[in-house]
Amino acid sequence: MRLTNSNRFRPLCRILLAALTGLLATSAFAQSVEPSPADLRLVPQNEAQIKLSFAPVVKQVAPAVVNVYASRKVVRRQRVSPFMEDPFFRRFFGQPGGRPSQPRERVESSLGSGVIITSDGTVITNHHVIKGADEVRVALSDRREFDADIVLMDERTDLAVLKIREEGPFEHVSFADSDSLEVGDIVLAIGNPFGVGQTVTQGIVSALARTQVGVTDFQFFIQTDAAINPGNSGGALVDMTGNLVGINTAIFSRSGGSNGIGFAIPAHMARFVAQAADQGGKVRRPWLGATVQMVNAEIAEALSLDRPQGVLVTAVFDGSPAHKAGLEVSDLVIAIEGKEVVDPNSFGYRFATKMIGETSEFRIVREGQEVSLSVPLVPAPETVPRDTRQLREYSPFEGTTVMNLSPAVAEEIGLEGVFEGVVIAAVSRGGAANQVGMRPGDIIRVVNSKKVESTRMLEAITKTPPRVWRLEIERDGKLSKLEVR
């Protein structure tokens, strides 16, 4: 009888056993899968959770955040009256012993912050913190101070890399994946605002991929309401794991103090510059050889898009990496490496942070069909010698440094889609060019009806000045005509 009953329920037992086994297997599998960062984000559930402290994160990160002191010597000559050339006047009006006035040397200094990113003392900070510095010194949170060497300065990203002269090891922070940040994530800003010493402020990520800030050439900023004030520049923006998500760089302020809108350069860009410093001390960005434009509502409608997205390719240059990859005019680039592209700034950021020698995967839309392209990453070529010249003859170009344009020079200066002609690389303050209003990046097209084809030709023109200078200057893609007497 018992045997008969057990046989009767044996199928049901098998079903229950199979279900239980499947449940246990599912539970074990669930425990073996690592939760994603999004799954770990929790809202405080009770008063005890609200009283939790950020102190452990601060203790972990603070030793790796340094104060950066930069100084430079400036020599200023006193303006001397013509009467002072006479020994009599020099004797009785302020020059002992009748000696002429001597140049006065003054030391200018600036104060900012920095972050140690390696145990041997590599520090990343902002370019504007150490610009023009003759000496740089860093101070740790434990009040130790060390001299530091400038390894790399990159004005286009507003980043710089220093190396502490003392041997380590030093406390340092690790880079986070800044692309994983989301609006609403909690962040801490650590730095030295107003020179009062190291401080910590807390806030949230209030926006991502800000591209209209106007601080650097590659605009793709993290926006935060964590208080960032003067002196915070170059300091750390960290997440709740103590990893570096950004380098604090700028604030939106009319008073000079924090108004709750601060901007940080993403860690992805900072890591790229740090790698460049480690591989020769020069940033080498890939060259695309194509130009793109913003997609507005009208263009989106013409392309039958449901919304504006991506960037539209407007030109592709023969022999360029874009041309070799098969990119065509009117292609719509919607993603690079699987990351969405929303405007030319985000496009430039995604492409410029790739390393030379690799390939970049473009996702494009062509005639309504999505297509993938692999673009080789190569440096911009110097197709003609730059032949850098400083123009000192009296002319509208006095005080300029000029170069012959090539893709390499255009990339260095930050020009897009212009690869021939003569470009102004620098303008001195005291020269005639500065008074006329010329700027770095201006392209000199025509001088007195002569097309300017090289720096040598322009220098020769300045040596035979006419009564009236008639110039054609290209700036930001627009041609302007000037008349200088």
Identified catalytic residue from 113, 127, 158, 258: 158
The pLDDT assigned to 13 comes to 46
d(CA 195, CA 193): 5
C-alpha closest to that of 126 among 54, 242, 221, 224: 221
pTM, entire model: 0.74
CB atoms within 10 A of CB 194: 13
Residue 424's identity, in one-letter code, is I
Is 233 a catalytic site residue?
yes
Q: Is the pLDDT of residue 405 over 90?
A: yes
Phi/psi for 336 (5° steps) reads -125, 125
For 206-249, the pLDDT digits (tens) are 888 666 555 556 667 888 888 887 778 889 999 999 999 999 98
The pLDDT assigned to 83 comes to 45
CB 418 within 8 A of CB 405: yes
Identified catalytic residue from 110, 206, 233, 346: 233
Which residues 6+ apart lie within 8 Å of 401 measured at CB? 388, 389, 390, 391, 424, 425, 426, 427
Is 454 a catalytic site residue?
no
Identified catalytic residue from 110, 113, 127, 128: 128
Is 278 a catalytic site residue?
no
CB 359 within 8 A of CB 365: no
For 175-210, the pLDDT digits (tens) are 998 888 888 899 999 988 766 778 888 888 888 866
The domains of the chain, with CATH numbers, are 59-164 (2.40.10.10), 178-278 (2.40.10.10), 290-376 (2.30.42.10), 389-484 (2.30.42.10)
